[in-house]
Amino acid sequence: MDELELLKKDWKKQEASLPHIKAEMLYGMIHKRSSSLTKWILIIAILEFIFWVGLNVITSTKDSIENLKSLHFYKINIALTITNFAIILFFIYRFYKNYKVIQTTDSTRRLMQKILKVRRTVNYYVIYNLSFLFTSAIMVMTAMYFYDPKVKKLLEISENGQGSITSWGLVLLSAGFIIILLVVFWLFYKLLYGILLTRLRRNYKELNKLELND
């Protein structure tokens, strides 16, 4: 009888430890997934940066430079480009820091905090890119309106009653183009980062359940 009682007690001890072991395994899996998702955010941001730098180099031809100078936009474009790339590099640095921190995080609550921070950083990054695109488009359209010979000629023809587009019509057309451009880029970022952020959110919810069960 004594041996049987000892065996029962041993079973009870093992059963009591099972939930803790299961929680540790779940945390390990979520931690690994979160680290991998953060790494992919970093990789995509780097590839995106390389793409835009490459595109800027390819499109910087003699004709395009002369065109920008005729619009009195060449120096402004250089300043905007340098500022934009510097800010994107700052975001990439933040993505890298977030990835390294998540890799070494060793508690459920801290991992939850870091996941939220990663999500906020990505959202700020997308908002910045869309804001920069909007501002740049407005500035380019304004420069074209005042300095582009083709636009000036088009407006002159319209004023003489031989054209169908007015100044307000041109403004509305430009606004429509900017809105479409923003929507396209928003969908692009939604597809690019949205899936990763959705999975990070799912990880956060699972960690929250573990935290509540502890």
Residue 45 near residue 95, CB atoms below 8 Å: yes
Tokens representing 38 are 């953060």
Structure tokens at 18: 């099972």
Helix (H) or strand (E) holding 197: helix 167-213
CA distances from 114 to 31, 110, 120, 198 (A): 11, 6, 10, 15
For residue 43, the tally of other CB atoms under 10 A from its CB is: 12
pLDDT (tens place) for every residue of the chain, 214 residues total: 445 455 445 545 544 444 555 667 777 888 888 899 999 999 999 999 999 999 999 988 888 899 889 888 999 999 999 999 999 999 999 999 999 988 887 777 888 889 999 999 999 999 999 999 999 999 998 888 888 888 777 777 666 655 566 677 777 888 899 999 999 999 999 988 989 999 999 888 888 887 766 5
In this structure, are residues 120 and 49 in contact, taking their beta carbons and an 8 Å threshold?
no
The model's pTM is: 0.82
Q: What's the angle, vertex CA 140, arms to CA 134 and CA 142, rounded to 5? A: 100
Distance from the first to the final alpha carbon of the chain = 36
- Dump pLDDT digits (tens) for 92-115: 999 999 999 888 877 778 888 899
> In 117-147, which positions are buried (b, 16+ CB within 10 angstroms) versus exposed (e)?
ebbebbeebbeebbeebeebbeebbebbbee
Rounded Cα gap, residues 169 and 166, in angstroms: 5
